[in-house]
């Protein structure tokens, strides 16, 4: 069988003729097919990695945005609480200085 492959097999147009295979073609196929498979696999894996990296970056951006928004909201709430406390104190001070009238229900 090795001799048949090395000699190229039957020649087309002769009895039993078909596709002529020689060692160069067989070698090219044995090298080429796995190379194509590796290239396609590498491409697919790179697409997958890029998509996952994009998702991870988006999650990081979302987390940073949430953190900044939380700081802004907490600061605003603290400021509003401080203003409320000041208004309550001012209200108490005004009530203490204002004489109570008899017509007040």
Considering the domain boundaries, does residue 103 fall inside one?
A: no
In which domain, by residue range, is 63 found? 2-97
pLDDT in tens, 77-87: 999 999 999 99
Element (H, E) at 79: helix 23-97
Gap between the Cα atoms of 72 and 69, Å rounded: 5
Structural domain total, the chain: 1
Considering the domain boundaries, does residue 76 fall inside one?
A: yes
pLDDT in tens, 30-68: 889 999 999 999 999 999 999 999 999 999 999 999 999
pTM strictly above 0.75: no
Considering the domain boundaries, does residue 15 fall inside one?
A: yes
Give the CA count within 13 Å in the CB-facing half-sphere of 25: 9
Reduced to 3 states, what is the DSSP secondary structure of residue 13? coil
């Amino acid at each position: 069988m090795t001799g048949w492959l090395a000699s190229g097999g039957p020649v087309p147009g002769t009895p039993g003729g078909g596709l002529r295979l020689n060692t160069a073609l067989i070698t090219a196929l044995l090298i080429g097919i796995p190379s194509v498979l590796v290239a396609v696999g590498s491409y697919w894996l790179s697409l997958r990695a890029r998509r996952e990296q994009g998702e991870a970056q988006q999650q990081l951006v979302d987390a940073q945005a949430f953190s900044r928004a939380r700081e802004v909201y907490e600061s605003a709430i603290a400021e509003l609480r401080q203003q409320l406390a000041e208004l309550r104190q001012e209200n108490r001070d005004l009530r203490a200085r204002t004489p109570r009238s008899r017509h007040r229900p």
